[in-house]
Structure 1
Amino acid sequence: MKKVIQLFFMTLLANTLCYCQTEKPDYVFNDQTFDQAILTFVPIKRAGVTDDQYNLALRILGETKSSTKAGSEKLNVADYWNITGAFVRLKEPAVNIEIAFKKAITLDADAVCSYVKAFGGSPNLEKTIPETFLAFYAKCSLPHNSSTKQLDPKQYAKDNQLDEKLVSLFSLMQVNDQKFRSTTPFDAVKQNPFDLKNQHLVDSLYAVYKTYIGKSYVGKEYESVMWVVIQHSNIQMMEKYLPDVSKAVQEKELQVVPLKMLIDRIYSIKYHYQIFGSQVNVPVTDDQTVTTVKKKYKID
C-alpha cells in the first residue's frame, strides 16, 4: 500500500512538472518596454513551428540584437519589420505581432508600405492581425499611399532642388509598378506590360547615367523605385544590376533592406534557398554561406 501511495504521488508530481513545462504562459510585450525587452527575449518553440522556421526566427532576432550594440534606441523600421516577421514565424500571440508592426509603421509607414508591396501583400499578417494590417494596407495600396499625402512629384523636385523631369518619370514608374500588383488577387497578365515598360525605362536611364539612380538624383521618396523595377523583373536583369544596387547601398543612395531582398530573390530562383529570410516559403541556407554572402556584398 505504501508503494502504491508513493507511486501515486510520483505520478502526480511528474504530471505537475509536465503541465508546467507544456503550459508555460506566453510572454506578452508592452509598447513602453518593447525596445529593451526584445534584446533579451528568448522565444519558445511552439507546436506547428518547424525547425527551419524556428531557427530562421532566431537568426532574425539575433541579427537585430547585433545591430543594436549601442543600445535599444538604435532600433529602426527595418528592425521592427524583421521582428514582426520573426514573431509570425514563431506563432507569437497576436498582441506581440501587433506591437512590433505598429512600431514599424509609426516610425516609417512609407518604408513598411514598400516592404509589403515588394512581398505582394502579407497574408500572414492579414490572418494574425487583420484589423490593423488591412487598415494600413488599404491606404498603402493607393497610387500614392496616404502617408505621402498625394505627393506632387513636380513640387517635390522643386522643394528638393532635383531634376523635375527625372523625378516625374520615377513617380510614373512607381505608379505603373503597382497598376495591378496592388489588387487581390494579383493579375500578372495585366501587370506584365507595365513591368516591361518600366524595365525598358531603367535600361534606357542606366545607359545615360551609368549608375543606380537613387537618393542624390530623385530624393528619399523615390530612391527605391529603380530597385523595385529590378526586383519585379527577370533573373537576367536582377543579376545585371545587382552590383549597382550593392554599390548604391555603400554610397548611401539606397537602404540596405532592398539589397537583401534582391539577393534573396536571386538566390531563391537560382539555388532554391535564401540568405536573409525575405522570401516566403523558401529555406534559409547554412550559416557559412550567409556569412560569405554578407562579406561579398559588405553587409554588416
Structure 2
Amino acid sequence: MILKIFRFWLLFFMFFIICLSTNGQDYYTRIDYFPVQKSDVSDEKFRKANYILEQTYASIKKDSSNIVYADHFNIATAFSLLREPKENIMKELNLAQEKDLKSTATVFIMAVKSPEHFQLTQHEFDSLHSKFQHIYNKEKLKVESFNIDEYLSGEKYDRDLVEIMYLLDKHDQKYRKNEFIPELQTPLDIKNQTIIDSLYNQFGKYIGRSTVGEKFEHVMWLIIQHANIDMQEKYLPIVYTAVQNQDLKETPLKMLIDRIYSRKYGYQIFGSQMGVDLAEEEVIKDVKRKYNIN
C-alpha cells in the first residue's frame, strides 16, 4: 500500500514538473533532432541540411552555455531545406533575433534573397526584409561613424594598423554590400589585396586579434576571401596558423577552405557556399583532419 502511494505521488510530481516546464517554455532547441527525409526533399538537400545540423549541434555541445544567434539561424535554414513545419523554422529564426537582433538582421539582408529560404510568403518576406533592412541601415551608420580613439582606449593595439584595417573593411564592402557592382568594386579589391601583401611582407604574419582587436580580426581574411584562387591558396596556411594562434575565429578558415574547394573541385567541405554540393564523406573527413577542425 505504501509503495503504491509512493508511486502515485512520484508520478504526480513528475507530471507536475513536466507541466511547469511546458508552460514556462513552449519551445526549445533540441540538439539531437534530425528529421527524416520527406518525399519532396532531394538527397542532396537532405545531406546538406543534416550536415548543417551536425555542425551546429556539435558547436552547441562544445559550449552549451553559449548558444548564439547563428546557431538558431543555421537550424532554421536546415529545417527549411528539410521541409519541416514552418512554425518550427520561424521559432528558430525568432530565437536568433532574441539572441542578437542586429547580427540576425545583417545575416538576413546579406544571405536571404528569396522567400523560399525560410518557406515564407512574399508578404512575410517583404515584411521581415523591411524590418531587418531598417536595423541594418542603422548599424551601417554606426560603423561609418567609427570612433578610433574610443576603440583604442585602454588597449595596446597598433593605431596605424587599426586605421588601415578600418579603411580596408570599408573599401571591401563599398560596392558589395547592397548591390555588387563589379566594375567599381574590382579595382578596390585589387588595391586592397596589394596592401594586404605589403602588410604580410612587412610583419610576416596574419594581422588579427592580437594586433588590431576582435572588431577587425576578420579584415585580412575578408580581402583574401574576395581575391583570386592563387592568393587564397597562398594565404590559406597563414589563415590556418592565425586560427591556431587564436588570432582569428575558426569560421573564416572554414569559409576560405570552402571557397577554394568550390573553385577547384566544384564541391565544398563545410557548407558555407550557397548552391555548391558537399564533398564525399571521406574527403570531408580528410580535410577536417588536415586542418584540425572537428
Normalising by structure 2, we get a TM-score of 0.78
In structure 1, give the amino acid aligned to 2:171.
N
Q: Percent identity?
A: 37
Distance change in 2, residues 1:162/1:192 (3 Å): same
In structure 1, give the amino acid aligned to 2:136.
C
Match among 111, 123, 128 for residue 132 of structure 1: 128
Coordinate RMSD, CA, aligned: 2.9
**Deviations 1:14-37, CA, capped at 9 Å, x for gaps:** xxxxxxxxxxxxxxxx994655x4
CA distance in 2: counterparts of 1:93 and 1:188, whole angstroms: 39
Q: How many residue pairs get matched?
A: 266
In structure 1, give the amino acid aligned to 2:163.
S
Classify the secondary structure of the residue corresponding to 2:206: coil
Partner of 2:13: none
In structure 2, give the amino acid aligned to 1:173.
L
**Deviations 1:159-178, CA, capped at 9 Å, x for gaps:** 42322221111111111111
TM-fit CA distance, 1:89:
2.0
Structure 1: runs of 5 or more not aligned? 1-29
Structure 1 window deviating more from structure 2 (66-75 vs 290-299): it is 66-75
CA contact (8 A) 2:157 2:213 kept: yes
CA distance in 1: counterparts of 2:164 and 2:65, whole angstroms: 37
CA contact (8 A) 2:52 2:74 kept: yes
In structure 2, give the amino acid aligned to 1:65.
Y
**Deviations 1:34-80, CA, capped at 9 Å, x for gaps:** 55x42132324345421111111112212222334367434334433
Classify the secondary structure of the residue corresponding to 1:56: helix
Partner of 1:4: none
Distance change in 2, residues 1:285/1:172 (3 Å): same
Match among 176, 181, 204 for residue 171 of structure 2: 176
Q: How does 1:133-282 map to 2 (within 5 A)?
A: 133-140=129-136, 145=140, 150-184=145-179, 186-282=180-276
CA distance in 2: counterparts of 1:242 and 1:79, whole angstroms: 25
Partner of 2:281: 287
Normalising by structure 1, we get a TM-score of 0.77
CA distance in 2: counterparts of 1:220 and 1:196, whole angstroms: 25
**Deviations 1:214-237, CA, capped at 9 Å, x for gaps:** 111111111101111111111011
In structure 1, give the amino acid aligned to 2:286.
T
In structure 2, give the amino acid aligned to 1:289.
V
CA contact (8 A) 1:153 1:171 kept: no
CA distance in 2: counterparts of 1:132 and 1:140, whole angstroms: 12
In structure 2, give the amino acid aligned to 1:292.
D
